Structure formats: C-alpha cells, structure tokens
C-alpha cells in the first residue's frame, strides 16, 4: 500500500482521514506533534475535541462526506434489545 508513496492518506466515508506509512505530523512552525500509533485518524468534520486527531465526534453531529447515494441520516437497523 505504501510501496510507492512514503505514506498514504485515506478518506473514509462519513469519517476521518487515516494516515499510514512513513510520515511526520508537525505544527505550522515545524514542531513535531506526538503520534502514539502507526496509523492515525485526522479530524475531517472540524468538531473533534482532540484536533488534529479524530475523536469520533463526527458520528454525534451526523457528519456526511456526500457520497452520491446519500439520503440523509442512516436508517435504524432491526437489532433490538431484550428487557434487561
């Protein structure tokens, strides 16, 4: 996947950008931003409280990346919960 490029950036539907491979994340001043894992998720919805990283908030705000087949919020699935 990263044979040609040093790193890959993958935009996931309705979600963040995942960065894999050999990359450095830096501030506008060139200072390194610590990344604690090999694959990181960068915020794309603008609402993460952990920017530049994704913290899952895109789900809470219904962020959509606008695929052609988008028709609004996801439909509820059929899973149900027994009384507990």
**By the 8 A CB rule, do 60 and 48 touch?**
no
- Residue written as token pair 């962020």: 63
Q: Does 71 bind another protein (CB under 8 A)?
A: no
DSSP 8-state class, residue 63: -
Q: Does 82 bind another protein (CB under 8 A)?
A: yes
Please report, for residues 2, 13, 50, 72, 83, the alpha-carbon distance to residue 18 in angstroms, rounded to integers and kept in the order given: 13, 11, 15, 24, 38
Q: Does 84 bind another protein (CB under 8 A)?
A: yes
CB of 31 to another protein, least distance (A): 19
Mark 10-49 with x for binding to another protein (rule: CB under 8 A) and - for no binding.
--xxxxx-x-----------------xxxxxx-------x
Helices (H), ranges, 1-84? 57-60
Q: Does 76 bind another protein (CB under 8 A)?
A: yes
Q: Give me the residues that bind another protein (CB under 8 A), please.
A: 12-16, 18, 36-41, 49-50, 53-57, 59-60, 73-82, 84
């Amino acid at each position: 996947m990263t044979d040609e490029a040093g790193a890959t950036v993958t935009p996931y539907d309705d979600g963040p950008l995942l960065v894999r491979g050999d990359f450095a994340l830096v501030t506008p001043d060139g200072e390194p931003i610590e990344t604690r894992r090999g694959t990181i998720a960068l915020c794309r919805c603008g609402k993460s409280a952990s920017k530049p990283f994704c913290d899952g908030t895109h789900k809470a705000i219904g962020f959509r990346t606008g695929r052609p087949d988008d028709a609004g919020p996801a439909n509820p699935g059929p899973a149900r919960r027994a009384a507990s």
